[in-house]
Amino acid sequence: MAMPPRLANLDKIGGPDAVANWGYGWAWATAAPFPWFKQFASHLGGTRNGLVVSWPEHIKARGIRSQFTHVNDIMPTILEVAGIKTPDSVNGVTQQRVDGVSFAYSFDAPKAPERHDTQYFEMMGNHAIYHQGWLASTTPVNAPWKRGDGSVLPNQYKWELYDLRKDFSQAHDLAAKQGGKLREMQALFKQEAERNQVFPLDDRMTLARFQAGEGQKPKRSTYSYWGSDLSIPAVSAAPLLARSFRITADVDMPQAPATAPLVALGSKFGGWSFYLKDGRPVALMAASQLDGDQSRVAAAQPLAAGKNRLVFDFRYDGGVNAGGEMIVSANNQEIARGRIARTISKLPEMTDTLDIGFDADTPVTSDYPADGHFPGKIGKVDIAVGKPGAAGVAP
């Protein structure tokens, strides 16, 4: 009997061939002794993290620093120790205020009073406020396995109150005993939330929010890119997931048959790649990194040297994570046709990009060198996209 794919790949967790994700139970357990875990901005299990700073020539008093420090303090700290003034403008763009506070003051003064004494938190509706040793936290309305629908109002959250100076792990809720302090903290959260455009709160979980974001994108059906070595964040690029699309690329092929990417989106953990293998055009969908979870449609013959117009036409079956038919044409002649067994509707990594002429970060496939660039020239790439989830042909 064949070993189940998940079990067969168990030893790959933590290595370059895995994008590991924790189940709810393990996430909760490894956040102990703090309540809740990642994605719950209301409690320390979701916000408290260790940070190691090593600077042997300058930090003499080694050990733990317990002053409150937030991630937005890192940039001001680096600027201070590097002797760089915080810029008012970058590339002609006036910068927003810097909320963080350098924690370099603690390097040689482990017991110095903390300087970052107020900080709000919010994520998917769950929110909290820290102020001078106190933490007011909202009790999560939705369990991690329950999808919020965006209907919870700010006044429907119950609040908890903790004195972290005496109760570092949020074990003793003082909300009932210290009503005045709680109201003070609630008012402070409202002030900070308004100052930082936190409202309106949205309790929907990640996928629903991504889908809502799709609706906020410009209503475009075509995208054009010129030249090679372009890298566009996936959230801003032509959307190729869960829909039909047509990629038209004007390429100038080198004399020697090339093996290199032309257009790539995502990674081997989930993504599309349109590339050349020994000069032969190939379309590949990696539904995951697991063996057999890739669909490949390849031409039998290499393209001729010189100018070619290459078209990858994907006709989606419709629905979610469905398959479809891929048709590859060169110079108005069909050169390959085949099935894409299944696709993906969301990229696994937030940093994924759409790349032209190369494949940034983790490549979609090992069919070409990881650092390879197309040796010819790419004049223009046009991408036409259909409506998400709809079957048929791209416009």
Q: Given this model, what pLDDT does residue 263 score?
A: 98
Q: Which residue has the higher pLDDT, 200 or 307?
A: 307
Please say if the pLDDT value at position 294 is more than 70.
yes
Say if residue 392 is exposed, middle or buried (CB neighbours under 10 Å; 0-12, 13-18, 19+): middle
Average pLDDT (320-345) is: 97
pLDDT at 290: 87
The tokens describing 50, both together, are 């260790």
Annotate 5-41 with b (16+ C-beta within 10 A) or e (fewer).
eeeebeeeeeeeeeeeeeeeeebbeebeebbbbbebb
> Residue 144 — pLDDT band, cuts 50, 70, 90?
confident
Rounded Cα–Cα distance for residues 363 and 371 (Å): 9
In the chain, where the domains are located? 19-208, 219-385
Reported as a single tens digit per residue, the pLDDT across 264-276 is: 999 999 999 999 9
CATH number of 219-385: 2.60.120.200
- Cα dist from 44 to 121, 304, 306, whole Å: 10, 60, 60
Cα 211 to chain centroid distance, Å, stands at 14
Assign residue 332 a region (left: φ > 0; alpha: ψ between -120 and 50; beta: otherwise).
left
Q: Which two tokens stand for residue 209?
A: 């929010």
Task: State the DSSP string of 41-96.
Answer: TTSHHHH--------TTT--S-S---S---GGGHHHHHHHHHT-PPPSEETTEEPP
Model confidence pLDDT, tens digit, residues 204-243: 765 555 555 555 555 789 999 999 999 999 989 999 999 9
20: confidence class by pLDDT, cuts 50, 70, 90: confident
Res. 135 pLDDT band, cuts 50 70 90:
very high
% residues pLDDT > 90 (the chain): 77
Residue 8's pLDDT band, with cuts at 50, 70 and 90, is confident
Digit-coded pLDDT (tens) for 149-178? 667 777 789 999 999 999 999 999 999 999
Average pLDDT over residues 173-188: 98
- By the 10 Å C-beta count (0-12 exposed, 13-18 middle, 19+ buried), 233 is classed as exposed
Whether 279 has a pLDDT exceeding 80, the answer reads yes
Residue 221: per-residue pLDDT: 93
Peptide bond into 200 cis (omega under 30): yes
Task: Take residue 40 and report the two structure tokens written for it.
Answer: 């719950």
Q: How far apart are CA 318 and CA 181, in angstroms?
A: 54
3-state helix, strand, coil in the chain (%, to 5): 15, 30, 55
pLDDT in the model for residue 206: 58
Residue 324 has pLDDT above 70, yes or no: yes
Mean pLDDT of the chain: 92
- What does the CA dihedral 216, 220, 225, 231 come to, rounded to 10 degrees? 20
Q: Is the pLDDT of residue 388 over 70?
A: yes
Confidence of residue 377 (pLDDT cuts 50, 70, 90): very high
Instruction: Determine the Cα angle at 277 with ends 383 and 322, to 5°.
Output: 50
What's the Cα-to-Cα distance from 50 to each of 31, 137, 286, rounded to whole Å?
12, 20, 35
- Read off φ and ψ for residue 227, nearest 5 degrees: 85, 175
Look at residue 210 in the predicted model and tell me its pLDDT: 56
From the list 31, 203, 204, the residue with the least C-alpha distance to 127 is 203
21-25: long-range pairs with CB below 8 Å, 24+: 24/144, 24/145
How confident is residue 75, by pLDDT bands cut at 50, 70 and 90?
Answer: very high
d(Cα 93, Cα 87) in Å, to the nearest integer?
A: 10
The first and second tokens of residue 186, run together, are 């609630």
Q: What is the mean pLDDT of residues 261-288?
A: 97
Domain 19-208 matching CATH 3.20.20.70: the answer reads: no
Per-residue pLDDT at 21: 75
* CB neighbourhood size of 98 (10 A): 14
Burial label, 81 (beta-carbon count in 10 A; 0-12, 13-18, 19+):
middle
Percent of the chain topping pLDDT 70: 94
pLDDT score for 220: 86
Domains 19-208 and 219-385 in one fold: no
Rounded average pLDDT over 38-60: 93
In whole angstroms, what is the distance from residue 265 CA to residue 245 CA? 13
Q: Which of 103, 107, 101 lies closest to 56 in space, CA to CA?
A: 107
* 331-351 average pLDDT score: 94
The model carries a pTM of: 0.70
Residues in Cβ contact with 33 at an 8 Å cutoff, skipping those fewer than 6 apart: 169, 171
Asked whether the predicted pLDDT for residue 114 surpasses 90, the reply is yes
**Rounded CA separation 251/376 (Å):** 7
Cα 113 from Cα 364, distance rounded (Å): 49
Residue 311 CB contacts under 8 Å (≥ 6 apart), including other chains = 246, 247, 248, 249, 327, 328, 329, 330
Among the residue ranges 27-31, 198-202, 215-219, the one predicted with the least confidence is: 215-219
159-176 burial code (b ≥16 CB/10 A, e <16): bbbbebeeeeebeeebbe
